[in-house]
Each structure stands twice: as structure tokens, then as C-alpha cells.
């Protein structure tokens, strides 16, 4: 057991006493302000500190804190939203309104972002009216059970972050903080999680409370039944890819533990000369289809980008071009990025007609195409001049008719570029960093 390694990691991720004291006092003050405002208005509402800062499982340097405004469950939704925002404004005159399932406020107070989220204080997690109502139950469950394991959770959070699988938002599709907490509760320690994690198979089920609702089917890579809701899979947002990467990382860590798993060196941006050399030696073609990033939150954007990626890869495949790997990237501009094996094709293509038994269609086909012939699959076909000889022509002509997701489609309709090979570096240094990982340059 690499205890010194863990000490070294913990020294870098455990909040300092001063940080901790500040976090506590900010929470205390925010709660007091909300409670006072509610009292002054005669509202049956109180504030509750939730999330990792309340459970002592947060990582050093965290700048935000979650305070929930607990409303009676029978409060009409509009009243909750209206009263919630008004009470929240008591915390600080500097704030920003945001929107998840209902509107909430992020107040800037003593250097921290205080998220003030109204919710219904329902009887139990089975009666929630919106997803945020579950958080107080998670809080309660973890606080009751975490005991002295907060550092183990911190190690797991930093490990998943270091190996690139931390964060359950749709951009990452990785591990949430709550999922890390539950895994530590299940396996007792960070090393317990890594040891078991190294043996996880697709479809692994973890049911700490032994109360899973078997009438609910979970088709996810990992199923961790929520201790406060037998129907819910806490790991539902985890993609198969990130699940596999986690298992892979666990195995590699067991074999050769090192600080690099927790604090990997920052990825090097791909340099122009290196990229030219790499492309020359691989012989592939790099293509980036770029467009202005739609002004929407990442949780809406990324599913659309992935849909666009899938549509483009399918479009190319249907026209006999071959994609070796693909991914999406987003900053000011967004991109579907392709490394291609086949991007140019001969001037003919086979155009398939109706099957032999559709006689009328066959006759029309033969009339239209005098060169039609019958194939051994009992279908007519004809050699035609290929409509799109290059992948670029195809993309240029057909991208806008692909399934792209609403906002991406709109942005693409306004204009898109196809960048090639070393020209993709014009997308800037952030893209250059992405590219290093995308091409898995051998030196990394």
C-alpha cells in the first residue's frame, strides 16, 4: 500500500485549516441571512448546507458552495421560484440568476460562489418533485455514514480527475462526487475501490442498501443503486468509454502506483512541425468540421455535438469513405474532428436498384439506367459516376441535411469550415492540446 504516495496526494488536495474555516463561516453566514429573511417575511423556509463542502469531501481550492432553501412540499412551484430568488438575494448584492430545473441564484460572497437553490423538503427521496430535492437526502446519507473516510473520498475524486473520468456532466460523462462517496462507502477505502474497480465488468451492480427495485432495468455500464432511492442508478451518466477508462486506470495504478495518476503532467499542445511529421508518418488525413459554438449550456451542447459526430461518421461510411477515429471539441468554435483512412475514391460507384421481385420498379430502373445489371443478391444495380469523389465534397454538400441537433444545426446552417491537416491548428492552443490526446501521439 503506497501510504507515502497517499500522504503526498492528500497534502495537495486536503483543504487547509484556513480554507476550511472560511468555507464553514461563509456557509454559516449565508444560512443565517436566508433564515433571517424567511423569518422576517414569515415564511416556513430554512437554509441547508449540502454538497461536498458540507460533507467534508471537497478538494482544496474549491470556490463554490451549495446552500439549499428548503420549502414545504405543498408550496406552488411559482411561489417557490419567486420566494426562492428573493430570499437568496439576501445573501449578497452581487449575484447572477441561473437556471437548472428551476431558477436559482449564484451569489458572490467573500470570494466564493454561493449557489442558493430552492427545493421542496419532501418526506423521502421517493417523493421528490424535482431532481434537486434529492440532494438533501444524499447529504444526510453520506454525513451519517462517511465517518473518517473523507480523505479516502478525496483520493478517489482526485484519482478520477487525474485519469480524466471525473464529472458527471454531459461533456465528460464520468463519475460524480456522490458516486465517488458511495464507492468509498461500499469498498471502505480508496484502495478498496481501486482493487474492486480493476475487476469491474460491464453491467456491474452495487446495491449498498440491498434495496434495488428490480422492476427498473438499468442498461448502463455501471449500476450503483442510490441508497436513498431504490429506482435510481447513481452511475447512469457514466459512459461506457469512461467506465472502461476507469477500470483500465485502476489496473494500471495497481501495477505501478504513482503520483502521475493523481496529477498528470499538463498535456502538451501539438506543435505544427510535430503534427506534420505525425501525419506524414501515419498517412491519414485530419479533418475538422468547424462552426460557431451555439450559445447554450454544455449539458445541451455536448449531446448535440456527439449526435453531429455520429451523423457525419455515418454519412461518410454510407458513401464508402472510412473514418479511423472521431471526436468533438468546443470552445468559441466547435468542431467534429476526424482522422480519415479513406477520403478519396474512384470516379464510379454502384447504385443499387430494386430487388428482382419488385417487377414494376425493376422495369423503371432498367428504363432509366440502360447499363443496369442484376447482381447475385437478386437486386439490380448500375455503375454510376460517383456523386462525391472526396469526403470534403460530400460533407460540403450534405452536412446540413444530417441529424445535428437543433442548435448545432442552426449554427452549421449559418456557416461551417472544413479544415485539413496542419491547418486545424488555426483553431488555437486549446485545440492543439485536444489534438495531442486525439491522435494519442506515441510520446504521451
Name the residues that contact a copy of itself, by CB under 8 A.
198-199, 201-202, 239-241, 243-245, 247-248, 251-252, 255, 281-284, 320, 322, 324, 341-342, 345-348, 350, 356-357, 359, 362-363, 366, 371, 373-378, 383, 440, 442
Question: From the CB of 202, what's the least distance to a copy of itself, in Å?
Answer: 6
Instruction: Give whichever of 144 and 201 is closer to a copy of itself, judged by the CB atom.
Output: 201
Helix then strand then coil, % of the chain, to nearest 5: 45, 20, 35
Q: How far is the CB of 349 from a copy of itself (least distance, A)?
A: 8
Whose Cβ is closer to a copy of itself: residue 127's or residue 202's?
202
| 292 closest CA partner among 392, 410, 405 | 410
Closest to a copy of itself by CB, 112 vs 362, is 362
C-beta of 284: minimal distance to a copy of itself in Å?
A: 5
Given the complex with a copy of itself, which of 245 and 422 has the nearer CB atom?
245
Joined together, the cell numbers standing for residue 289 give 468540421
Q: What is the DSSP string of 195-248?
A: HHHTT--TTEEE-TTS---TTS---SSEEEEETTEEEEETTTT--HHHHHHHHH
**Least CB distance to a copy of itself at residue 283 (A):** 3
User: What DSSP line would sit under 263-319, residue for residue?
Assistant: SPPPPPPPPHHHHHHHHHHH--EEEEEEEEPPSS-HHHHHHHHHHHHHHHHHHHHHT
Q: What is the nearest approach in angstroms of a copy of itself to the Cβ of residue 59? A: 26
Q: At its nearest, how many Å lie between a copy of itself and the CB of residue 305?
A: 16
Please identify, using beta-carbon distances, which residue of 29 and 339 lies nearer to a copy of itself: 339
Which triple of cell numbers denotes residue 337? 474532428
- Which residue lies nearer to a copy of itself by CB, 74 or 443? 443
Is residue 444 a contact partner of residue 267, using CB atoms and an 8 Å limit? yes
- Please write down the HEC assignment for all residues of 34-52: HHHHHHHHCCCCEEEEECH
Amino acid at each position: 500500500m503506497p501510504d507515502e504516495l497517499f500522504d503526498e496526494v492528500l497534502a495537495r488536495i486536503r483543504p487547509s485549516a484556513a480554507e476550511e474555516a472560511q468555507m464553514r463561516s461563509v456557509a454559516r453566514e449565508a444560512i443565517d441571512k436566508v433564515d433571517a429573511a424567511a423569518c422576517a417575511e414569515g415564511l416556513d423556509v430554512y437554509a441547508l448546507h449540502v454538497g461536498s463542502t458540507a460533507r467534508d469531501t471537497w478538494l482544496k481550492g474549491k470556490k463554490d458552495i451549495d446552500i439549499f432553501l428548503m420549502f414545504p412540499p405543498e408550496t406552488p412551484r411559482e411561489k417557490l421560484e419567486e420566494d426562492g430568488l428573493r430570499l437568496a438575494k439576501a445573501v449578497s448584492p452581487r449575484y447572477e440568476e441561473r437556471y437548472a430545473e428551476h431558477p436559482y441564484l449564484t451569489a458572490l460572497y467573500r470570494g466564493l460562489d454561493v449557489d442558493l437553490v430552492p427545493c421542496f423538503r419532501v418526506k423521502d427521496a421517493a417523493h421528490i418533485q424535482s431532481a434537486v430535492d434529492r440532494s438533501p437526502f444524499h447529504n444526510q446519507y453520506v454525513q451519517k455514514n462517511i465517518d473518517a473516510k473523507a480523505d479516502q473520498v478525496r483520493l478517489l475524486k482526485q484519482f478520477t480527475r487525474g485519469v480524466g473520468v471525473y464529472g458527471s456532466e454531459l461533456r465528460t460523462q464520468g463519475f460524480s462526487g456522490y458516486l465517488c462517496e458511495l464507492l468509498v462507502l461500499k469498498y471502505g477505502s480508496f484502495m478498496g475501490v481501486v482493487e474492486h474497480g480493476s475487476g469491474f465488468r460491464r453491467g456491474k451492480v452495487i446495491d449498498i442498501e440491498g434495496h434495488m427495485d428490480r422492476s427498473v432495468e438499468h442498461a448502463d455500464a455501471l449500476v450503483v443503486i442510490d441508497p436513498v432511492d431504490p429506482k435510481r442508478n447513481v452511475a447512469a451518466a457514466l459512459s461506457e468509454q469512461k467506465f472502461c477508462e476507469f477500470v483500465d486506470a485502476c489496473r494500471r495504478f495497481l501495477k505501478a502506483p504513482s503520483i502521475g495518476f493523481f496529477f498528470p503532467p499538463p498535456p502538451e499542445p501539438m506543435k505544427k512541425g510535430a503534427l506534420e511529421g505525425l501525419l506524414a508518418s501515419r498517412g491519414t488525413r485530419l479533418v475538422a468540421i468547424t462552426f460557431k459554438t451555439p450559445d447554450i449550456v454544455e449539458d445541451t451542447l455536448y449531446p448535440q455535438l456527439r449526435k453531429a459526430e455520429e451523423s457525419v461518421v455515418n454519412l461518410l461510411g454510407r458513401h464508402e469513405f472510412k473514418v479511423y477515429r472521431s471526436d468533438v471539441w468546443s470552445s468559441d468554435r466547435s468542431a467534429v474532428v476526424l482522422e480519415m483512412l479513406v477520403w478519396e475514391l474512384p470516379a464510379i460507384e454502384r447504385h443499387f436498384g430494386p430487388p428482382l421481385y419488385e417487377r414494376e420498379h425493376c422495369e423503371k430502373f432498367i428504363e432509366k439506367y440502360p447499363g443496369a445489371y442484376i447482381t447475385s443478391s437478386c437486386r439490380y444495380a448500375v455503375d454510376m459516376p460517383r456523386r462525391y469523389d472526396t469526403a470534403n465534397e460530400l460533407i460540403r454538400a450534405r452536412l446540413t441535411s444530417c441529424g445535428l441537433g437543433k442548435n448545432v444545426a442552426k449554427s452549421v446552417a449559418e456557416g461551417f469550415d472544413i479544415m485539413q491537416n496542419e491547418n486545424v491548428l488555426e483553431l488555437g492552443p486549446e485545440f492543439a492540446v485536444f489534438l495531442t490526446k486525439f491522435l494519442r501521439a506515441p510520446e504521451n
